[in-house]
Amino acid sequence: MLCAMLKGDAYGHAIAIVAPVLQAAGAEFAAVATLQEAVDLRLAGWQRSILVLGNPLAVADPRERRERVRAIIKYKPALTIADREALATLAKIDLESCVDVHIKVDTGMGRIGCLPNEAADLVKAVMATPSLRLTGIYSHFATADIQNHDLAASQLATFNNVLADLGGLLPPGIVRHMANSAATISMPEAHFDMVRPGLALYGHPPAEHLFGRIDLKPIMRLVSHLTTVKDLPVGHCVGYGQTFTTKRRTRLGIVPIGYCDGYVRALSNASVVTTPVGDAPVIGRVSMDQLALDLTDLEPLEPGHEITLIDDALDRPNSVWAIARRLETIPYEVLCLLGQRIQRLATGSFCAAGEVGRELIAKPQLHTQPMCKTR
């Protein structure tokens, strides 16, 4: 089975757009981080199983907890049980109907999850709770994206040992799962009953050494438009802090997107964008709502011309991976930072039911200037 990782608003791509396409394409399962994401996923039309990876009932306010319980009963996600405290919280609540749960085992990641030697007791306790139905058991890799890393092999062996030790304790049909994007691509022995691709689902290799292992095509590009084009004389400042001063007569372009939209300040004087007539460097500091381009060496452009800030080709200098390298971070962060005023629009085969889309556009909404979008 395939479990589509849809947390973080589908890694910044918009649950409301991505989920119906994946459901039509046959994805059997989905996973999210929070209960609210599970609700959003149901409201987007997702009719299949949902796993909440976090612990939504770990709240102090009893009124808030009761509200969350009502949401669990209404929207029917499966919950993660990672320790006896979470189980005790659930056991105290009149759930009115049976709730599916997956037990998470910490095989070496060091986040939530019971330790391997605690798994059997937790399984028994869940099985003894009438309002809970054990439908899954899982773990998560810490280093599957690192080439030839011993910890990934050790975690897999630990999970296999846990499953072997549990033996007949596990109910028939329980779903065992562990593989993230990297393990889905490079560790077939970790596939078990279900895989959980995340970044790869959106067309990006989860690690540089996995480029070319499977054919991936990014589904999003981020576009905006020029709002201003003007000439600056020699010696003119561009942007806050005077980090760029023109050394020649400069044709300047302004784009209405900035760090509020996830195009972060660290890209100041350090990135390029695509225009209809070639690439242009970003100059000066990226502001909250605007950035500046040097258009001097290009054919004439005018306000309204489209600017591609994040390209959907893996080999472009403004691809998600290229931007991540420049920021010394990971592609996940580049995508998840895209702000909420960026409007996500489906185009191309995303509009065709049953086809995994080729292009998703996002654009900042309610700008006073031409909007920015991702496709």
Task: Assess whether 240 carries a catalytic annotation.
Answer: yes
Residue 31 CB neighbour total at 10 angstroms: 26
For residues 300 and 318, what is the distance between their CA atoms, to the nearest angstrom? 21
pLDDT in tens, 307-363: 999 999 999 999 999 999 999 999 999 999 999 889 999 886 554 433 333 455 655
Angle between helices 119-127 and 150-166 (to 10 degrees): 40
Same domain, 104 and 137: yes
Regarding whether 109 and 194 lie in a shared domain, the answer is yes
Q: Is 7 a catalytic residue?
A: yes
Whole-number Cα distances in Å, 363 to 41, 90, 135, 260, 311:
21, 41, 40, 13, 14
Residues 181 and 313 in one domain: no
Amino acid letter, residue 105:
V
* Pairing mode of beta strands 228-232, 3-5: unpaired
**Which of 57, 55, 181 has the alpha carbon at shortest distance from 111?**
55
Strand bridging mode 175-179 / 194-195: parallel
User: Rounded distance, CA 169 to CA 127, Å?
Assistant: 9
Are both 176 and 241 inside the same structural domain? no
Residue 117 included in any domain: yes
Q: Please check whether residues 176 and 251 belong to one and the same domain.
A: no
Annotated active-site residue in 104, 138, 240, 247: 240
Q: Report the alpha-carbon distance of residue 204 to residue 181 in Å, rounded.
A: 10
In a domain, 12, yes or no: yes
240 and 202 co-located in one domain = no
Q: Is there a contact between 227 and 343 (Cβ–Cβ < 8 Å)? A: no
Q: Pick the catalytic residue: 7, 104, 363, 373? A: 7
pLDDT digits (tens), the chain, 375 positions: 999 999 999 999 999 999 999 999 999 999 999 999 999 999 999 999 999 999 998 888 988 988 998 899 999 999 999 998 888 888 777 777 789 999 999 999 999 999 999 999 999 999 999 889 999 999 999 999 998 889 999 999 999 999 999 988 999 999 999 999 999 999 999 999 999 999 999 999 999 999 989 999 999 999 999 999 999 999 999 999 999 999 999 999 999 999 999 999 999 999 999 999 999 999 999 999 999 999 999 999 999 999 999 999 999 999 999 999 999 999 999 999 999 889 999 886 554 433 333 455 655 443 333 334 554
Domain with 127, as residue range(s), is 3-206
- Which of 170, 142, 145 has its CA nearest to residue 155? 142
| Pair 292, 150 in one domain | no
User: 166, 89, 80, 72: which is closest to 121 by C-alpha?
Assistant: 166
Structurally, the chain folds into a number of domains equal to 2
